[in-house]
Amino acid sequence: MDELVFEVTQEADGGYVAECLNEDIFTQGDTWGDLRANVLEAVRAFYFDSEAPARVRLDPV
């Protein structure tokens, strides 16, 4: 797998939630910038003992 795809939804309180469609990865953030940083951190943690896919894509819905 060369790309992880995250479905991103905006919560009623203004925060964002991202759920990976390829793996069991889920995270959230108060701002879009926070969400991006948290997604990258979650991906690094998920793949701590193996190579992570080269690309991560966030798809707002």
Each residue's pLDDT tens digit, 16-52: 999 999 999 999 999 999 999 999 999 999 999 999 9
Predicted TM-score of the model (pTM): 0.92
Domain span including residue 20: 3-60
Q: Read out DSSP for 23-56?
A: SS-EEEESSHHHHHHHHHHHHHHHTTTSPPPSEE
Q: Residue 1: pLDDT above 90?
A: no
Provide the pLDDT for residue 13. Answer: 87
How many domains is the chain partitioned into structurally? 1
- Cβ neighbours of 58 (radius 10 Å): 15
Provide the pLDDT for residue 59. Answer: 96
